[in-house]
Copies of this chain bind each other. A is one copy, B any other.
Amino acid sequence: MRDAYHEELDSVGDGLVEMARLVGSAIGRATTAILDADLALAESVIEADRTVDELQHDLEARAIALLARQQPVATDLRIVVTSLRMSADLERSGDLARHVAKLARLRYPERAVPHDLHATILEMGQLAQRLMAKSAEVLVTQDIGLALQLEQDDDAMDLLHRTLFQHLIDGRWQHGIETAVDVTLLGRYYERYADHAVAVAKRVVYLVTGEHAAEHRPDVLPPTGAEGA
């Protein structure tokens, strides 16, 4: 039987899973909105981000109330503090999905993504959504193996990001500067979204093992031309 204290702690965890579910759905829908130039879908993503922000505020208020009232120590304290960080990661992921949707809205009725990058952006969007779904699962199951798997998925995102950059500067770009700017920003949004999803999973690893997962990721920079990186 759970006491009130552990019920409060569990409800913080439930809030995180709900946030992850919402921002996972948001990046999927934002990607569809930008690829299909679907204004109504873009608007719904932008609107739904308010719910994520409200969930974060609620969750933070509950976490802080729990700190004040229950004064947890050791593992429980670590859980509450780490939850605050995870909620910040998830809130930011929601912002990034909203950025994608806003770009879709800005370019409507045009498509922001040219045809020859459709597949790459679709893959980035799907991977981002999958990363967040896995992070939500890690939150629920505390499955360390799955958490470590996210790092590989994140490498795949970096590769897609590099592919995108390479496409931009391969000398055959015919979509003008405005579209190049849009695609550069989109790439950055998906990469950052993935970083936050991975951060959530890493924080679960920290909670379970007490060890910070290694920071192995290099920054993705734009590619160099002839001179090599």
Binding site for B on A (CB under 8 A): 64, 67-68, 71, 73-74, 77-78, 81, 84-85, 88, 98-99, 102-103, 106-107, 110, 165, 168-169, 173, 176-178, 180-182, 184-185, 188, 219, 221-222, 224-225, 227, 229
Contacts and interface: CB of A to CB of B under 8 A. Distances in A.
Contacts of A176: 169
Contact of A71 (B71, B85, B173): B71
A193 to B, nearest CB: 14
B84 A221 contact: no
Contact of A178 (B107, B185, B225): B225
- The number of times this chain is found in the oligomer is 2
Contacts of A188: 185, 188
A177 B168 contact: yes
Nearest to A170: B177
6 contacts: A64-B77, A64-B81, A71-B73, A102-B219, A103-B221, A180-B184
A173 B184 contact: no
B102 A221 contact: yes
Contacts of A227: 110
Contact of A177 (B77, B169, B221): B169
A169 B85 CA distance: 38
Contacts of A225: 178
A221 B219 CA distance: 23
A218 to B, nearest CB: 10
A85 B67 CA distance: 16
